[in-house]
Amino acid sequence: MNEAVEMFVPDEGVLAASAALADLQGPARRPALVRLAWHLRQRDTRRALALCDEAGQASRDGAEPDRALAARLGLVRAEAAWLGARLDQARHLAWEAQQGFAAAGDAGGCADACWLLGFVCADAGDVRGRDALLQAAQEHALVARDPLRIEVIEAAQARLSVLRDPQAAQARWGDRWVVAESGDPAATLTCHPAVKAWVQDFHGLLAAQTGDLVRSTACLSAAFEAAQASGQLLRAVLIATNIGTGLNTLGDHEAALEWMQRALELARPTAWPTSMGLSLLQAGETLRMLGRLDSAQAWLREALQTLEPLRESRLTAMATMYLAEVAMDHGDAATALRLFEQLQQQADASSYRDFQIGCRGGQARALALLGRPEQALALAQQSLDLARQSVDVPRQVAALGVLADLHAQAQPTVPGDTSASSMALVYLNEAMALADNHAGLSLKPDMLQAAAREHARLGQHLRAYELMIKTVEVMNALHGSSTGKQATAMEIRHQTERAQVELKHHRALAVAEAQRAAVLQQTSATLERLSAAGQEITAHLDGADVVQTLARHVHGLLDAHAFALYLPAADGRHLQAVFHIEAGQATAATRVALGDADQPAARCARERRELLLEAGCRLLAPMLIGERLLGVMALQALPGQAYGERERLVCRTLCAYAAIALDNAQAHAQLRQARDKLVDKEKLAALGSLVAGVAHELNTPIGNGLLIASSLRDKTHQLAGMAQGPNLKRADLHAFVSEATEGFELIMRGLTSAASLVSSFKQVAVDQTSEQRRRFNLQQTCLDVAKSLTSKVRLAGHQLSVGIPPELELDSYPGPLCQVLNNLIDNSLLHGFAEGVPGQMRLTAEATEPARVLMRFADDGRGIASEHLKRVFEPFFTTRLGQGGSGLGLSISYNIVNSLLQGQISVSSSPGEGAVFVLDLPLSVEA
């Protein structure tokens, strides 16, 4: 692909890509298809795949191959497979895409492929593989010098690192993204919704770790909107559930359920296992907190069933943990133990440290209920050791509480340690020390009460009393904390509602802007269509073609249930409907009197103005050139579909185009009639010249024949007189026979010559007055033309020679060809030679390939001036106007050669060197 494809684009970018695609055809459409499919991969996966299929079909139909384009297609399909939890297929397609990008030198594409492969690994439980692939994606993005990809990938790495080590994440990235109010480029990039979704998610997760739930919810809400706006729908679902989880912590379960419901509404249309499973499991956990254990259990089981293709993912681990807690709340320790053991296998394989700690503590609690204290203690100790390794103080306190409970139940003693009478007390004291040294962390009242009981059992009543006082203080603090949480929840809800109001306002503004842009786009498209329609309408010079084209464009641009076109009748007192169609059916033509007051078309014509009738459902408009009426256009819409300002503007524009086209058609018809008349005059003049030539050429042989015949008649009468008397001699008879024989031979020779001339004249006359196609000998046709003009050429003092091979035969139109040759000879006689200066004209021809003949007519006259050479074929151009030149001979010849004879004619000349006309003709014209 010639242009780099963005990793994520805002919604307006998708709209622009979709609009651009609508106007593309051919090879330019395929890259646009792939680009739009990429941007729709999570917004509308089905449509994205359909666009991929269309782009793939274009490739199979012969489009030029493009490695980066094919790789991007494969990556769209890979992401669709990942979203559908087909991890093996997704991994295979993504690796193929990565190789295609690498071969094409597309570093940005390589980054996208590694990004997707990283999340495929995460869903398969390979967290280390995910981190390595995200790092590879970052390196490719740096090579591509793509700031957006660099920021998105780094923000994602930061957000994921919070789950491993919040303190390290805070130290490395806490101040990395601070959105300034200035125009700093980095700050501007951070405001891009694709980056903002990950950055705000990172800050929200960090704030939740420190207990700042107000800031956490605000950041996550911003991340939620940004994820939706950038097409990261799966990320939006995850963020929505995290917001719900934070509200659960505050005790605002109602608001939490609202966010869970919002996540479900986004997830259900996609049917992606990840989004559906996440929404179901978080909603189930919320229901557990509300004490609705049966409903919670049902939702969590559905979540596990939905996540079955992702059994190694973190989401499956979360669902298993929540379901095990439901079993503990039910008192079903055996089921809880089985689920915690199942979770431990997954947590150990995937290095999910939080689950490793939690599942061991959960097993310890379940084993204690099942009466297996030794195993319970071992697992509780493992939970504590893991929490200490992770420096996870809250989970250390929880693990110490479990150990304390287990020891309190068994009341073991510490061997060899006289200072500690109870191991339970040891663990409780350690938990209290950790809580005292960790800001924001305090022991639960039940742990303080347990410590007080142990001190009392050991006779340390003063210490027990102090702990009970502290328990009361903690309970009061918790009560205040609960009230504070409620206040915090109220504040969050207020902020959320205010943000939603602002969001609705911004969305309303965006919708209004989109509508305005759509109107502008529609107007622009309409203007483009009108321009194209105007070019097509005005291109016709035949009135019937103008009417048909106008009707087609009217129905394409306007809602015309009925359409009629009226033109002025020949009498000037009526309008004639030359086109009338209603509901797709043609109706009978009608005449409307211009003076008819009841006819809207007549009124429109009389008043020369647009009429809008019948509540805007009927529209009539005049077609005018200045104040001259060319016709009236009438439209009628169905009831309830009135013509607005846009439709009226379109109608006016079409009327203007139609008026111009009809006026041009009328002018062209008049010009054609004038031309036909001039052509007829030219033909008559040529025939007159032919008749004169015939008379002159026949005068000599016929005159000689008459003279000889009259002489023979006298001789015959003389011989007859001599035969009546005795004076007839043999010598007289022999002399008469000799003279008669010689006279008859002279008469026959003259009559034969006259007959030949008449035959040639007849053929030339027939050809010049017809346009019939036939097969003819070119040499004979040219000789006939030469004979018909012999007297004209000889009288002018010039000579005409013909040099054409006898084997050349044409399947063409001899009459028009004869007219062309006549015009060329006449042009030379009239323009080519100076007065009284004899000249030579020569007509030659030769066969050329493929199947063509090249004819040349040349004279040795005075030639053509250079400023006139380019205009010789223009109609009415002549240098002898009023001196016998009409300016139509060469123009008619040009039209005959280029149209009817399907050839070409050209001229070359230099002053004083004569002129050469070249005719390039096919041996056989096409039908």
Strands 618-625 and 628-636, bridge-based pairing: antiparallel
High-pLDDT (> 70) share of the chain, %? 82
Q: pLDDT value at position 198?
A: 93
DSSP state of 542: S
Query: 526 pLDDT exceeds 70?
Result: no
- Tens of pLDDT along 340-357? 888 888 887 766 778 888
Kindly indicate the confidence band of residue 899, based on its pLDDT and cuts at 50, 70 and 90: confident
User: SS in 3 state form for 636-676?
Assistant: ECCCCCCCCHHHHHHHHHHHHHHHHHHHHHHHHHHHHHHHH
Instruction: In whole angstroms, give the CA distance from residue 358 to residue 849.
Output: 94
| Position 152 pLDDT exceeds 90 | yes
- What does the block give as tokens for 82? 């990942």
Taking residues 122-144, report their average pLDDT. 91
Spatial CB neighbours of 176, under 8 Å, sequence gap ≥ 6? 154, 158
| DSSP structural state of residue 758 | H
Cα–Cα dist 298/807, whole Å: 101
C-alpha to C-alpha distances, 808 to 793, 805, 816, 848, 913, nearest whole angstrom: 25, 6, 18, 11, 29
Q: 391's torsion region: left (phi>0), alpha (psi -120 to 50) or beta?
A: left
pLDDT band for position 185 (cuts 50, 70, 90): very low
Question: How far is Cα of residue 913 from the mean position of the Cα atoms in its chain?
Answer: 61
Distances (CA, A) of 229 to 116, 313, 435, 678: 20, 26, 42, 74
- CB of 800 within 8 A of CB of 843? yes
Q: Kindly state the average pLDDT of the residues 90-117.
A: 94
Closest CA to 226 of 216, 235, 213, 217: 235
Residue 900 is given by DSSP the state I
Q: Are 894 and 905 in contact (CB under 8 A)?
A: yes
Residue 912, pLDDT > 60, answer: yes
Position 131 confidence tier, pLDDT thresholds 50, 70, 90 = very high
CA 240/CA 266 separation, integer angstroms: 10
Look at the pTM and tell me if it is higher than 0.75: no
Counting other chains too, the contacts that 480-483 makes at CB distance below 8 Å and 24 or more residues apart are 482/251
| Average of per-residue pLDDT across 203-232 | 85
**Do you know the residue count of the chain?**
927
Q: Per residue in 683-697, pLDDT tens?
A: 555 555 556 555 655
Answer yes or no: are the C-beta atoms of 121 and 110 closer than 8 Å: no
CA-closest candidate to residue 199, choices 153, 245, 168: 153
- Rg of the chain over all Cα atoms, to the nearest angstrom: 52
- Give the range among 103-107, 194-198, 473-477, 800-804 with minimum mean pLDDT: 473-477
pLDDT score of 736 more than 90:
no
Chain-centroid distance of CA 467 in Å reads 75
Q: Which residues contact 22 (CB under 8 A, 6 or more apart)?
A: none
Greater confidence (338 vs 681) lies with 338
What sign has the CA pseudo-torsion 856, 857, 861, 862?
negative
Average pLDDT on 332-347 reads 88
Phi and psi angles of residue 692, each rounded to the nearest 5 degrees, phi first: -60, -40
Phi, psi (5° rounding) for residue 813? -115, 95
Structure-block tokens of residue 160: 């994921």
**Lowest pLDDT segment from 471-480, 646-655, 792-801:** 471-480
Cα separation, 493 vs 735, in Å, equals 148
Residues 459-471 have pLDDT tens digits of 888 877 777 887 7
Angle among Cα 675, 680, 684 to the nearest 5 degrees reads 150
Q: Please report how the helices 778-788 and 730-768 are oriented relative to each other, as an axis angle in degrees rounded to 10.
A: 110
Our CA dihedral for 728, 731, 737, 742, rounded to 10 degrees, sits at -140
Sorting pLDDT into bands at 50, 70 and 90, what band is 59? Answer: low
463: helix, coil or strand?
helix
